[in-house]
Amino acid sequence: MKITELHIDGTARGAIEIARSRLMWAVIFFAAGFLLLAGRLVSLSLFQQTGSPHKGARGGAKVIMTERASITDRNGVVLASNLKSKSLSVNPRRAEEPELMARQIVNILPNVNYQKLLEGLKSSKNHRWVQRKLTPKQIWAVNSLGYPALKLENTEIRTYPHGNIFSHLLGYVGVDNQPFAGAESFFNDRLTDPERSDEPLVLSVDLRVQYILRRELYSSMKKFKAIGAAGIIMDVNTGEVIAMTSLPDFDPNLVSSPKGKGMFNRITGGVYEMGSIFKAFTIAMALDAGIVTMKDGYDASKPLKIDRFTIRDDHPKARWLNVPEIFTFSSNIATAKMIHDVGRDEQKAFLKRLGMLSKVRLELTGLAAPLIPKFWGEIESTTISYGHGIAVTPVHLITGVASMVNGGRLISATLIKQKTVRHDEKNKSEKNLLIKTSYSSGQTLEKSQIISEKTSEEMRNLFHLVVEKGTGKQAKVEGYSVGGKTGTAEKAGVGGYRKKDLISSFVGIFPVDKPRYVIFVMLDEPKGIEETQNFASGGWTAAPAVGKIIKQIGPILNIMPSQDKKLKYEDYIMVSDH
């Protein structure tokens, strides 16, 4: 049989060609649409738009955007961070059998108030929060209820993994991540910047040092039954705050409102008369102005009377004292006579340059202003010379003391980790330039020369004498050269000073020959004990704490032990005289 070829002509053939053409165009349109959708999918994956739950990170990696950036210490340890969480809400308009629903919810969430919840379920609103931060077990139980009116919403919670340790420094946030106090409040704009949510805010503090400071402060506060304590450690060459603690404190994971004694930050919010530590400023200004030399001195054989006031020494030597002895034995009488030679105007101008008459610059909110006398007369000038009649924050004090020992430069305290760059490329090992910036202004902070390098060296030697031969002996640490000064001041009350209520403090410098760090410890109303012969002054209560802190943080901060430095001006001290 011969195969017959079929030929299609005319109208039939034209219809087939038209159908084939239409089919080809349909295929082309479908292919174009598919390619368009595929391209859009790739675009969304690689180039995320603002407001999406992901953000392209450096190097092409993707990270989850959070409502607040994390905060870390100088070594990258997380101090505050946001975590994803589930929160329970309800739409009252869809709530059936509100009494039964309320009882069942309270059985699962015992912290929820039944009456308030019932009122909410009966309201006309379409959204009410029931409880934030549900546990996995609570989430499962809520889902098991099966109520359409209940909704588990994705939220974020701020968590502080170290609890109380950084509470005053960090502050805390409310249920809706609104900031309260501390770095959370000061850096709020930075922490909530959506473009920088993947960049942690790096602070200058060191978790290890902070832990030691708080532990020793807490131990001393309990030992001497003080009502509070405060401590701060600062790098004398950069102004970086390495640790800062105020006691009592609080757990930022649990707090919901700024109430209670533990919320008060003694470091930045309290001002105190600092007692004899202020003698360092009086002696430094007299030495720097050439009014006295180390060989000069004053007669401290008997109390000094000014108008109706009588000035006495707590550790009377009842003789003529040279400058090293005045500082080592902490003579009020000789210091008062010295400031008379310096003059009231120069004293006020010096303390103003030192920053003692205005608020400090530090990246925290709620900074207290110093209390200074309205009238700066002779008696005011006299008492201020040895630390009474003027009240400052611990930040004021530690910043001022740092400038006395770091070569005479006043460097503002900061909570931002600083950077240094090479200043002299030909001699890299010797010269570094501190690039210090203020986070609030973004501008370089100027360093003021308060006293000369020569005077600063003399002050370092005087601080060393206090620890080796004077009132600060209990701050001595084997293997480290330590300098310091005690401070004891009666608290002011109605109608005068309360003699038994003391602010006892000690400021320590180490290594004193080449200072790196300054430490301030303060106890509020400590009580004397048998071990201290019932004394509660700074030398008996705060100085030992500073010694214990230095012993522990020295190795952590890479401060190598050194041989005992020969005491300069040791021959000026008559230690046999009582």
Looking at the domain assignment, is residue 549 inside a domain? yes
Going from the C-alpha of 497 to that of each of 388, 435, 491, 500, the distances in angstroms are: 11, 45, 6, 9
Separation between Cα atoms, residue 431 and residue 89, nearest integer Å? 60
Co-location of 184 and 219 in the same domain: no
Query: 67 - beta bridge partners?
Result: none
Looking at the predicted structure, is the pLDDT value of residue 514 above 70? yes
Looking at the domain assignment, is residue 537 inside a domain? yes
Q: Cite the beta strand spans of 262-378 per DSSP E.
A: 297-299, 304-306, 309-311, 320-322
Q: What is the pLDDT of residues 37-92, one digit of tens each?
A: 655 554 544 444 433 333 333 344 444 456 789 999 999 999 999 888 888 888 88
Name the residue range of residue 302's domain.
210-249+270-572
Choose from 133-137, 396-400, 430-434 the range with maximum mean pLDDT. Answer: 396-400
Average pLDDT value for residue range 517-541: 96
Query: 442 - beta bridge partners?
Result: none
Domain count within the chain = 2
Q: Which residue is it, tokens 């290594």?
A: 511
Co-location of 447 and 524 in the same domain: yes
Q: What is the pLDDT of residues 194-250, one digit of tens each?
A: 899 889 999 999 999 999 999 999 999 999 999 999 999 999 999 999 999 999 999
End-to-end CA gap in the chain? 143
Residue 355 region by backbone torsions, left for phi larger than 0, else alpha for psi between -120 and 50, else beta: left
Looking at the predicted structure, is the pLDDT value of residue 159 above 60? yes
Is the Cβ–Cβ distance between 565 and 460 less than 8 Å? no
Paired tokens of 91: 């739409």
Co-location of 527 and 386 in the same domain: yes
Looking at the predicted structure, is the pLDDT value of residue 13 above 80? no
Is the Cβ–Cβ distance between 562 and 480 less than 8 Å? yes
Is pLDDT larger for residue 126 or for residue 453? 453
**Greatest CA separation for the chain:** 148
Looking at the predicted structure, is the pLDDT value of residue 364 above 80? yes
Co-location of 456 and 430 in the same domain: yes
Looking at the predicted structure, is the pLDDT value of residue 564 above 80? no
Question: Which of 174, 192, 198, 271 is closest to 230 using CA atoms?
Answer: 271
User: Which pLDDT value is given to residue 40?
Assistant: 57
CATH at residue 375: 3.40.710.10
Whether the CA torsion 487, 381, 360, 261 is positive or negative: it is: positive
Looking at the domain assignment, is residue 34 inside a domain? no
Co-location of 336 and 191 in the same domain: no
Average pLDDT value for residue range 129-139: 86
Co-location of 117 and 147 in the same domain: yes
Least confident piece of the model among 34-38, 470-474, 504-508, 562-566: 34-38
Q: What is the pLDDT of residues 243-281, one digit of tens each?
A: 999 999 999 988 766 677 789 999 999 999 999 999 999
pLDDT bucket at 22, cuts 50 / 70 / 90: low
CATH at residue 120: 3.90.1310.10
Crossing angle (nearest 10°) for helices 279-288 and 332-342: 40
Task: Please report the DSSP string for 496-508 in residue order.
Answer: EEEEEEEEEEEEE
Is pLDDT larger for residue 380 or for residue 573? 380
User: Which pLDDT value is given to residue 228?
Assistant: 96
Separation between Cα atoms, residue 483 and residue 495, nearest integer Å? 37
Least confident piece of the model among 21-25, 285-289, 334-338, 394-398: 21-25
pTM of the model: 0.81
Co-location of 164 and 218 in the same domain: no
Is pLDDT larger for residue 302 or for residue 562? 302
Co-location of 180 and 278 in the same domain: no
Average pLDDT value for residue range 423-446: 46
Separation between Cα atoms, residue 179 and residue 188, nearest integer Å? 7
Is the Cβ–Cβ distance between 452 and 409 less than 8 Å? no
Separation between Cα atoms, residue 485 and residue 479, nearest integer Å? 19
Co-location of 351 and 410 in the same domain: yes
Separation between Cα atoms, residue 300 and residue 326, nearest integer Å? 9
Looking at the domain assignment, is residue 11 inside a domain? no
Q: What is the pLDDT of residues 27-36, one digit of tens each?
A: 566 666 656 5
Looking at the predicted structure, is the pLDDT value of residue 412 above 80? yes
Looking at the domain assignment, is residue 346 inside a domain? yes
Q: What is the pLDDT of residues 85-116, one digit of tens each?
A: 888 888 888 888 888 988 999 999 998 898 98
User: Which pLDDT value is given to residue 135?
Assistant: 84
Co-location of 222 and 197 in the same domain: no
Co-location of 186 and 288 in the same domain: no
Co-location of 159 and 235 in the same domain: no
Looking at the domain assignment, is residue 47 inside a domain? no
Percent of the chain whose pLDDT exceeds 90: 60
Average pLDDT value for residue range 546-564: 91
User: Which pLDDT value is given to residue 561?
Assistant: 85
On the CB side of 280, how many CA atoms lie within 13 Å of its CA? Answer: 35
Average pLDDT value for residue range 354-374: 94
Residue 51 region by backbone torsions, left for phi larger than 0, else alpha for psi between -120 and 50, else beta: left
Separation between Cα atoms, residue 507 and residue 485, nearest integer Å? 5
pLDDT bucket at 370, cuts 50 / 70 / 90: very high
> Which of residues 202, 228, 261 is at a domain's end?
202
Looking at the domain assignment, is residue 50 inside a domain? no
